[in-house]
Structure 1
Amino acid sequence: MKSIVLNRELEDKIEIVDLEIPFLEEDEVLVKIKAAALNHRDEWCRQGLYPGLKNGVVLGSDGAGIVEKIGKSVKTSWIGQEVIINPSNNWGEDPRAQAKEFSILGMPENGTLAEFVKVKLGRVHTKPEHLSWEEAAALPLGGLTAFRALMVQGTLSRGQKVLVTGFGGGVAQFAAQFAISGGAEVYVSSSSEEKIKVAKSLGAIDGFNYTNEAWVTEVLEKTEGFDLIIDSAMGNTLNKLIKVARPGGKIVFYGATQGNPSEVDARKIFWNQLHLIGSTMGSDEDFQAMLKFVEENKIKPVLDQIFQPEEAKLAFDKMKLGKQLGKIVIKFS
């Protein structure tokens, strides 16, 4: 089977190889991948910035396809089913946080950037009918991360003012769409006026260019602050987010691409009764709730570009540049 694997001994750090179709355990299914999507973690693996890297592992966490074969304990009715894959493994029993055994498909286990992938039966769910293969493939990791940050950790409620930072990436895109569908007044931030324009076309009220030194002042003049802020950058942007959070507001962050802040305005946090909350992907229950929300609201992921497997390097290079608007997808069949 055609597969895109990590090989950090090569200049491109990835290569297309032909692997054997994996053997199934009794509780596993073999999914013929129709489309798979890239996430930043795939490029971070290529750059050597992810823990536990192993050459030869098939990359990719997001994927959708058709169940081709089943293990002996799986009902035959699954054969031929169109499915979407939950890339989270071993969340554990505590809904508040993942267990130590938690892992994500695509490293250290073989992922979705291949013609076939084997997963436990509990990892597959019926593909939402309103989504194309490419749209379905774009949903799992980003959609789950956004749903948990917004709905579980952020406890979104209708009518709240919400800011989603860094609009354009997969998770931020989903967070904005989910918040709009959830009845919030949604604003975004981005360094790109084009991305802000797209956010407004999806239903965001307005956007702020965070490269503008006066963007905090602009926010306070237009909104008087936000009830909920969804962020992935952290670093020294944190104090600016603290300034634009309403008293009693929540700042939920699911990443720290800008690293740790050099200083934190602790006085403003306690005086304004702010909640600073970390978030990751999500539990199996979160994934099911996310799928239900997407189906009920007929939400469709924004796609940036669709590549063929032979164009994997181009797809990864585009992810590295960070200029994409929506998800980058690789179509297998």
Structure 2
Amino acid sequence: MKAILLRELGGPNQVSYEEVEIPTPKSNEVVVRVKYAALNRRDLWITYGMYPGMELPSILGADGAGEVVTVGDQVTEIKVGSTVVINPSLNWGDSRVHYNPDHRILGMPSDGTFAEYVAVPAENVYAKPDYLTWEEAAALPLAGLTAYRALMYRGNLQEGETVLIPGIGGGVALVALQIAVAHGANVFVTSSSDEKLEKAKQLGAAGGVNYRSDNWVKDMKKLMGGADVIIDGVGGENFNHMITLANPAGRIVNFGATSGPIKELVLPRIFFKHLDIRGTTMGSPEDFREMLQFFEEHRISPYTDKSFPLEAASEALVYMEKGENFGKITLEIE
């Protein structure tokens, strides 16, 4: 089969399109013929070695959807020919509160979805929602799982609350916008692009502010008031602005740090406002099931930006690195 391998670090141009053996399933696994895969920021970081637990060579890719072609000898509930979407959160464990020490994400060190075939535990495949295209189904898993857990489980979002999502345009942020709007929240966003702000409004955002402007925090405060829930994947110096924009007793849920560490955090600003700051990453099997049910109930389709053929995965990663996309970037696998 054809697959995208990373053998050496150094960025997106280090990935290679190679011929490798089709995987054989273990007794508890299935092999999926991948129709579409989707990129995540994680894939880009891995090419630079900026991810814990690096093991090379590895086939990249956490997200994918396709058809089951082989099942292990202990698999009884998944049949050959089933159309499935893959949950990339492997070995979460029995507790919904936190994953166990063996948890990992598909696509390094476990070989991932940037390939014609992928082997995954049977418990990690779910029926593909019929209304989603193959591309949409592949775009959903990691972003949908992360956003749903951040909003609904960790954020405890209630109908009518105000939500702030900084850095709209990426996969998790956009899915969070769609989930929050469908749940009846008032959603506000930030971006460095006025075009992205307008697109976010078309998807249901109540308003947005360009954070390149000098007084964007004051402008957002005037526009929004304050946020009951903030879903932050940015971190860095921007995090202090989130504290400013949070309502008293608000919840700030952080799932990433694309802008790096917070250089200075003034604790009284947190405890005088009675803020909850909560961390989250990926999600449990229960989160994934609930996320799929939520999407089917509300007929939500993930927003996709651009698709590339599998052999152009390096080009797709470079495109992601530029940060101009609005929605998920996908790989079509012939």
Relative to the length of structure 2, the TM-score reads: 0.97
Q: Which residue is 1:153 aligned to? A: 154
Q: Which residue is 1:184 aligned to? A: 185
> Which region of structure 1 is more displaced relative to structure 2, 101-110 or 314-323?
314-323
- Per-residue Cα deviation, 1:97-137 (whole angstroms, up to 9, x for no partner): 11111100001000000000011110100001111000000
- The residue matched to 2:237 in structure 1 has which SS? helix
- Per-residue Cα deviation, 1:242-296 (whole angstroms, up to 9, x for no partner): 1111111111110112222121131121111111111111001000000000111
Q: Which residue is 1:200 aligned to? A: 201
> Which region of structure 1 is more displaced relative to structure 2, 47-56 or 175-184?
47-56
Q: Is structure 2 residue 288 aligned with structure 1 residue 293?
A: no
Q: Which residue is 1:17 aligned to? A: 18
Q: Is structure 2 residue 222 aligned with structure 1 residue 221?
A: yes
Partner amino acid, structure 2, of 1:4: I
2:88, 2:142 within 8 Å by CA — same for their partners in 1? yes
- The residue matched to 2:59 in structure 1 has which SS? coil
Relative to the length of structure 1, the TM-score reads: 0.97
> Which region of structure 1 is more displaced relative to structure 2, 313-322 or 69-78?
69-78
Q: Which residue is 1:167 aligned to? A: 168
Q: Which residue is 1:92 aligned to? A: 93
Provide the C-alpha distance between the structure 2 equivalents of 1:253 and 1:69, rounded to a whole number of angstroms: 38
Provide the C-alpha distance between the structure 2 equivalents of 1:91 and 1:54, rounded to a whole number of angstroms: 20
Q: CA deviation at 1:56?
A: 2.5
Q: How many percent identity over aligned positions? A: 45
Q: CA RMSD in A?
A: 1.3
Partner amino acid, structure 2, of 1:205: A
For residues 1-333 of structure 1, what are the structure 2 equivalents within 5 Å? 1-8=1-8, 12-75=13-76, 78-333=79-334
Provide the C-alpha distance between the structure 2 equivalents of 1:317 and 1:9, rounded to a whole number of angstroms: 15
Q: CA deviation at 1:223?
A: 2.1
Q: Which runs of 5+ in 2 are unaligned?
A: none
1:35, 1:133 within 8 Å by CA — same for their partners in 2? yes
Provide the C-alpha distance between the structure 2 equivalents of 1:134 and 1:304, rounded to a whole number of angstroms: 11
Q: CA deviation at 1:53?
A: 2.4
- The residue matched to 2:287 in structure 1 has which SS? helix
- Per-residue Cα deviation, 1:132-163 (whole angstroms, up to 9, x for no partner): 00000000001100001111110001000110
Partner amino acid, structure 2, of 1:249: G
- Per-residue Cα deviation, 1:153-178 (whole angstroms, up to 9, x for no partner): 10001000110111000000000110
- The residue matched to 1:247 in structure 2 has which SS? strand
Provide closer, same or farther for how the CA distance between residues 120 and 188 of structure 1 changes in structure 2, counting only shifts above 3 A. same
Q: CA deviation at 1:10?
A: 7.8
Provide the C-alpha distance between the structure 1 equivalents of 2:24 and 2:88, rounded to a whole number of angstroms: 19
